Structure 1
């Protein structure tokens, strides 16, 4: 079997049918669709069961209590039989010919990991990722050196998602124990990408836009909760341990991106919480040991200037100044570029 398409599901009723239809209507036979209902309570579970009945032998449904996205994905991974695994979030969708295009690209390259483009547009017309030139002239699947891909994982957020990739099953770590991460809500992609990038021996990238990423505003990436910082710490500590093995010279830049994660959290606090609550939550966040270490060891040279200012103020405890400036900056940004600003809402 060529492909296993894995879809973890939790309370996404408005989008789930579109997601499943986009996979089942590919007109591609050499695949299996594995859906994991992770304890949904909004009617998503009924849609999953309906599709299982409608597509016997094509859709396999796994039901479990709510254990979080990471363990829902691992449940699907552990039973997958395809040569390559493709991950689709249950509020997203594949382009109508995605599997055919992916098969064509893999037949030319036979790589362990194939990356392709995504779009925030359901028309698949505007690319989502900026891979700093990696996508240029790579429609036919040009090989990318392992060192380049690992550097991308270390220095950017461009390649750490589980979706918009086809990963050879031998690199995925079937049967790996992730039980300690039950309930993890943030950074699970990065936790799983680190060992994949460590084991993979070949990569290729295509500029074909094959994946629709729906930013529905309710995703965990918009949540304000101290547990988010704890999750970030666990995931990025894992990344640091791999980068230390791959190229320790990159560690100061990894720590700089830790600071960016904290900056984003502080901006979410600024925009989502009453001012006094935001001051208290940001004060708590900057005292977290992981980020104290990151501040002390980061090289901020690659960080955009407007973020660097905020990071320096956070590191020095200038919380009121941070909130005042970035409240103003955000509202100006929101008026000028509402879609870009929405990620900080």
Structure 2
């Protein structure tokens, strides 16, 4: 059974959230609406909120202003209980829905994929005596507490939470969704149940209600057909646990974060990882309380990857490049080859052969010249859940895509940054190898929010081919700039505006070719240094102008700019020659703009180190590289290099 987006009504419920999404120009609720329209283009979008709110986007089909029932709060110290608000706004939207299926989404959640539809469509679970719905509803599992795991993971509580389902995202038939959400509102006495009572010993929720909001929804839903008697949130006995297990497993499919892909700014990725062990998931194998409960499916839809590659006269290296992709251990991918006006007969013949012989390969001819224009066309044409953009003369490790998909799905990340190695074309020897330098905070999780990783990524390579990203995360309009050098910098910076979580694979998965003039790989003598410096200044200016102040995108470019500028000074063979360059003033202005900080930050020690580094660079480029590596080891590279370069351009 295939479900088309035209059969779906999406109810985005709750208060309009005006905070910016990832420090960008759109609010969180605007991002939520835009994500639904992108992924479900023909769906009916209903925003259900409170009276007095303004429509967040012109892309919605119906805007509902409901009377606000208010939050239940027993005292200023208590957490606000918003279960009534959820019920009112959700039910109002469901009743106005005109499609067969409904997706319920909070106004502070951005949809990242529609894998859950495939899971729902392929669900073969047979109805049991405990089934309430016509078909099981798909729910995310962020707060879907597995009582067995909860008890094992938190022995100091010595309790099991029953009937505790996530209330963030649900998908199912309209009549099933109404059955779940059309509930009586929580009374004041229920909301203030523990004001005059003692909380269960050694176990206390940070609220005064009789039931947690998640429990209130599940218990009152099941009460429509079953005799449920849960005294309070910590009430437990063996019979009740058996009943909770049977009802939850018979009526819900609990999807892990990577399969019900959502961006939820309220919850940090570390918070999600910390509670991963106590959730329900599709592969739960623990004993169920009744033989009538069938095992849940263990395998859902496999994420598809699009490898996008602009191709321009890169023969004879192109054939090995393609083979390194087609032989990947991960099999669900497409290779999108964009022919950028190639003239080599062998290459054109090979492209024609690939298109005819391998269904995984698509060949597109670009009407406009230029690698960036070809990348834009390829990214826009990609059909995968994740994208990897490569050069057509480089190589990919055999397990690269598998490792990248695993990282993206484990951490529900929008961008995966990974390592690379540089190899010489003639000798095939590895010249050097680089991997992301993970700080102490990231060594366990290997993932964090965009705003927290800029110092790591800014000190790393800024090219396309060390970034594996979710479709839709990059603003392709940034690929329209007419730059020969640093053309990728605005596009990579845009990832920080539209992405939430970054994860890292600290292994060299990409092999970058040097030593010969090819498609995008040139010998040092081929570089127009003056043009490169002008393009760098322009790229920095565009990045700063297009990113909001103090956003992850601007923090990234501020830190990144200085590392690049210092490298360019080295390649210009020192400060004397660089200061005579026509681009000197452009770079100086760009550097000051990127820093955006007072000169009082300057440190004498850093000035001395930087000048020593630049003095070495006057000797030869090899010594500059050695000095640069030594400098990185001696001190924190990005921050202190920024201080030094400002000293230099300020003539202090």
Same fold per TM (> 0.5)?
A: yes
In structure 1, the partner of 2:313 is: 11
Q: Can you list the C-alpha shifts for 1:15-59, whole angstroms capped at 9, x where unaligned?
A: 10111001111143321110111112344333322322232x211
Query: Does 291-300 or 112-121 show the bigger shift?
Result: 291-300
In structure 2, the partner of 1:294 is: 591
Q: Does 1:147 align with 2:147?
A: no
Q: Distance in 1 between matches of 2:537 and 2:376?
A: 21
Q: Distance in 2 between matches of 1:303 and 1:161?
A: 27
Q: 1:221 to 1:257 in 2, by over 3 A?
A: farther
* Superposition map of 1:216-295 within 5 A: 216-218=515-517, 219-220=521-522, 222=524, 223-241=527-545, 242=547, 244-246=549-551, 256-257=562-563, 259-267=565-573, 283-292=580-589, 294=591
Q: Can you list the C-alpha shifts for 1:147-174, whole angstroms capped at 9, x where unaligned?
A: 2323345x43x14221122201021235
Q: Distance in 2 between matches of 1:251 and 1:49?
A: 40
Asked whether the 8 Å contact 1:118–1:124 carries over to 2, the reply is no
Q: Does 1:328 align with 2:619?
A: yes
Provide the secondary structure at the position in 1 that maps to 2:506: strand
Asked whether the 8 Å contact 1:36–1:75 carries over to 2, the reply is yes
Provide the secondary structure at the position in 2 that maps to 1:163: helix
Q: Distance in 2 between matches of 1:252 and 1:93?
A: 31
**Could you say which structure has the larger radius of gyration?**
2
In structure 1, the partner of 2:350 is: 47
Asked whether the 8 Å contact 1:256–1:303 carries over to 2, the reply is no
Q: Does 1:189 align with 2:491?
A: no
Q: CA deviation at 1:308?
A: 3.5
Aligned residues: 309
Asked whether the 8 Å contact 2:573–2:620 carries over to 1, the reply is no
Provide the secondary structure at the position in 1 that maps to 2:453: helix
Provide the secondary structure at the position in 2 that maps to 1:284: coil
* Superposition map of 1:306-317 within 5 A: 307-309=610-612
Asked whether the 8 Å contact 2:307–2:390 carries over to 1, the reply is yes
In structure 2, the partner of 1:131 is: 437
Provide the secondary structure at the position in 2 that maps to 1:231: helix
Q: Distance in 1 between matches of 2:432 and 2:584?
A: 40
Q: Can you list the C-alpha shifts for 1:243-297, whole angstroms capped at 9, x where unaligned?
A: 74327788875664464154044129x9xxxxxxx96x86233544342553696
Q: Distance in 2 between matches of 1:214 and 1:208?
A: 17
Q: Distance in 2 between matches of 1:254 and 1:102?
A: 24
Q: Distance in 2 between matches of 1:135 and 1:38?
A: 43
Q: Distance in 1 between matches of 2:332 and 2:383?
A: 11
In structure 2, the partner of 1:213 is: 512
Q: 1:254 to 1:33 in 2, by over 3 A?
A: closer
Q: 1:88 to 1:123 in 2, by over 3 A?
A: farther
Q: 1:96 to 1:293 in 2, by over 3 A?
A: closer
Unaligned runs of 5+ in 1: 271-277, 312-321, 341-345
Q: Does 1:98 align with 2:400?
A: yes
Asked whether the 8 Å contact 2:514–2:523 carries over to 1, the reply is no
Q: Output the TM-score relative to the length of structure 1.
A: 0.74
Q: CA deviation at 1:130?
A: 5.0
Q: Distance in 2 between matches of 1:214 and 1:127?
A: 12
In structure 1, the partner of 2:390 is: 88
Unaligned runs of 5+ in 2: 1-302, 631-652
Higher helix share: 1
Provide the secondary structure at the position in 1 that maps to 2:374: helix
Q: Does 1:201 align with 2:500?
A: yes
Q: 1:104 to 1:286 in 2, by over 3 A?
A: closer
Higher relative contact order (CA 8 A, sep 6+): 1
Query: Does 10-19 or 222-231 show the bigger shift?
Result: 222-231
In structure 1, the partner of 2:334 is: 32
Q: CA deviation at 1:201?
A: 0.6
Query: Does 241-250 or 93-102 show the bigger shift?
Result: 241-250
Q: Does 1:173 align with 2:475?
A: yes
Q: Distance in 1 between matches of 2:590 and 2:533?
A: 14
Q: Distance in 1 between matches of 2:569 and 2:431?
A: 31
Q: CA deviation at 1:233?
A: 1.3
Provide the secondary structure at the position in 2 that maps to 1:17: helix
Q: CA deviation at 1:94?
A: 1.1
Asked whether the 8 Å contact 1:124–1:210 carries over to 2, the reply is no
* Superposition map of 1:106-125 within 5 A: 106-121=408-423
Asked whether the 8 Å contact 1:95–1:124 carries over to 2, the reply is no
Q: Distance in 2 between matches of 1:306 and 1:128?
A: 23
In structure 2, the partner of 1:72 is: 374
Provide the secondary structure at the position in 2 that maps to 1:71: helix
